[in-house]
Amino acid sequence: MEHRNDHINTSGEPVISIRGLYKSFGDLHVLRGIDLDVFKGENVVVLGRSGTGKSVLIKILVGLLIPDKGKVNVLGQEVELLKGKQLDALRLKIGFSFQNSALYDSMNVRQNLEFPLIMNFKHLTKTEIDNRVEEVLEAVGLKDKINQLPSDLSGGQRKRIGIARTLILKPEIMLYDEPTSGLDPITSIEINELINDVQQQYKTSSIIITHDLTCAKATGNRVAMLLDGTFLKVGSFEDVFNVNDARVQSFYNYNFIQ
């Protein structure tokens, strides 16, 4: 299986910096002191089983949840201090690829892609919108599906269109929530390749939330292993799994990686 080994410059300012992050829901302590940096142009995979707080982390990053304790800095701004228009402006720079693609069933592909542009950029001409739609469809390899409804697309195609709709706003940061969930192995490989293509073409910095080890190995410049509310280890795929910890080994074995 191929894996990432390209070097990312980690000497500059991180685009995402998380320090001492805690989040509980009643007696359920989900995050228990998280530290993480994501550098410009880097794909960081946050790996963990379902229910370990991976999605909670993403929601805190975009200000949908408030942490109990700790600091979250995104693109030089403290997320917790942002309100209203400031928070909206930051969110425009962050692309969120939902697990279920979150397409509007009543709109065809073109309309799904146009919608975020029309909502957020009132000044764009029809030609500019058309150009952006074509550009992102080209990027995800689905120009021929422009007039199809989501119901006419396969799961992998819907996932690609969901990513295209995120890319159309030209975000600096991409957040992928379980990008290969529910997909067959071949389609999963294609989505992993697309994530890497997006990183190269759009110069994005990304957090990829997954429990799929193949995805983690194929897309992550670094991997952060979330266990019991903390990052057990952050490093290359090999670094993370080359530890003598029964919890890590059981996670690895559970995924049936060859």
Per-residue pLDDT of the chain (258 residues; tens, 9 = 90+): 455 556 666 667 899 999 999 999 999 999 999 999 999 999 999 998 777 788 899 999 999 999 999 999 999 999 999 999 999 999 999 998 877 778 999 999 999 999 999 999 989 999 999 999 999 999 999 999 999 999 999 999 999 999 999 999 999 999 999 999 989 999 999 999 999 999 999 999 999 999 899 999 999 999 999 988 999 889 999 999 888 888 888 888 777 554
Residue 143 lies in a domain: yes
List the CATH number of the domain containing 49. Answer: 3.40.50.300
Answer yes or no: are the C-beta atoms of 31 and 43 closer than 8 Å: no
Residue 86 lies in a domain: yes
Residue 191 lies in a domain: yes
Answer yes or no: are the C-beta atoms of 14 and 41 closer than 8 Å: no
Residue 133 lies in a domain: yes
Q: Which residues contact 192 (CB under 8 A, 6 or more apart)?
A: 179, 180, 214, 215, 218, 219
Residue 23 lies in a domain: no
Q: Which of the 8 DSSP states describes residue 43? A: E
Residue 3 lies in a domain: no
Residue 8 lies in a domain: no
87-107 burial, b at 16+ Cβ within 10 Å, e below that, comes to: beebbeebbbbbbebebeeee
Q: How many domains does the chain have?
A: 1
Residue 27 lies in a domain: no
Neighbours of 19 (CB within 10 A): 14
The domain of 86 spans 40-65+82-254
Tell me the whole-structure pTM to 2 decimals: 0.90
Largest CA distance in the chain: 58
